[in-house]
Structure 1
Amino acid sequence: MSDDRHAEPPMQLTEATADDIDILTEYWYALASDMEQYSKFNELAYDSVDSVPEAPFRNLLDSDDTTVYLVEDGGDQIGYVTLRDGEHPSREYERYKVIVDLLITERHRNEGYGSDVVAAVKELARDDGCDHLKVSCEWENEGARRFYRDTGFEEKQVTFVQEIE
């Protein structure tokens, strides 16, 4: 049986440019809005996607250690992933990529695209000489935790947060 979702061309990551800021803002706002439910520290400062400024996205696209990719399938944009390079010079596992953000549009979820993105990111990391990937998600977001476990990640640490009054 053929896999129609991978009809020409297959899922690919395409590096985002300044021309993609509108769609990146839309995707980021959807992801950030979904995360609000998990912690008061995720509360957005913007009332709508239209009030999100472009400058942070321009800065992200200009960053030397961060790359933003659009997830595309058959010419359609179906999500995005933001990757950041890092290193631990004193550790055996020294060079890594962090999946900062990963969003597959709701319409395309549970179809294998997220797993395909992780596999593509792993290849990018390998090609860049990295020896591991990192990702974090909200503790209470069991769906994301299950997804990352299912794609081969293991839980390593817990992040704590404290408000400064």
Structure 2
Amino acid sequence: MIDYRQAVPSDAPGILALLEEIMEHHGVVPPEPERLSAVISTIIAACDHMFLVAEDGDDLVGMCTLVFSQSTWSTAPVCELQDVVVTEGHRRAEVGRGLMQAAEEVARVRGCSRLHLLAEYWNLDAHAFYRSLGWAEKSCLYFERDLRADPPGLA
């Protein structure tokens, strides 16, 4: 049986492994384990972020990150889901569905007016999964600026 719960500090190694798995799936080289572990510890201790984990016995088999913020448009809190991942061996076994339901329950309890997430355009399996749960696709362009690079004109 899969249990869904908020992560605790002892979950950090399992969360690290899950994040490395999703980053590899997306073709991203994970940060150094020490740096990523520090971020995991910060999120576990934060009040505006939360890891939800799916646990099968003693093993973490899925997780997602919830990021809470205040919306000026709805005048209520909103929640962005990030890092939604289920280990390959547990995919298509309702773990993801349970994780998403647990995230929705947490967001409702915290008074959120909506949940949102981003999915890579090429990740068609994820798109189908979210649609099967009643999520609606929105039209929007996502812009990003890498602040680690030198600002234009200063290089």
User: Under TM normalisation by the shorter chain, which class is it?
Assistant: 0.7 to 0.9
Mean Cα displacement is larger for which, 70-79 or 119-128?
70-79
User: In structure 2, what is the Cα distance between the partners aligned to 1:139 and 1:86?
Assistant: 25
Report whether the alignment pairs 1:63 with 2:46. Answer: yes
Which one of 22, 29, 36 corresponds to residue 31 of structure 1? 22
1:99 to 70, 81, 100: 81
Partners of 1:59 and 1:76 in 2: CA distance: 22
Cα gap change, 1:26/1:162 in structure 2, threshold over 3 Å: closer, same or farther? Answer: same
Q: Which of 71, 74, 98 is 1:88 aligned to?
A: 71
Q: Deviations over 1:70-100 (max 9, x none)?
A: 21245543111211112212x2373221111
* Aligned-pair identity (%): 23
Q: TM-score, normalised by structure 2?
A: 0.82
Contact map agreement 1:93 1:132 (CA 8 A) in 2: no
Cα RMSD (Å) of the superposition? 2.1
> What is the distance in 1 between the residues matched to 2:101 and 2:9?
26
Partner of 2:6: 15
2:131 and 2:64 map into 1 onto residues whose CA distance is 18
Aligned partner letter, 2:64: V
What is the TM-score when the length of structure 1 is the normalising length?
0.77
Contact residue 84 and residue 99 of structure 1 kept, 8 A: yes
Cα offset for 1:160?
3.0
Q: Note the residue ranges of structure 2 that are not aligned, 5 or more in a row.
A: 151-155
**Structure 1: 5+ residue stretches without partners:** 1-9, 37-42
Work out the number of aligned pairs and report it: 145
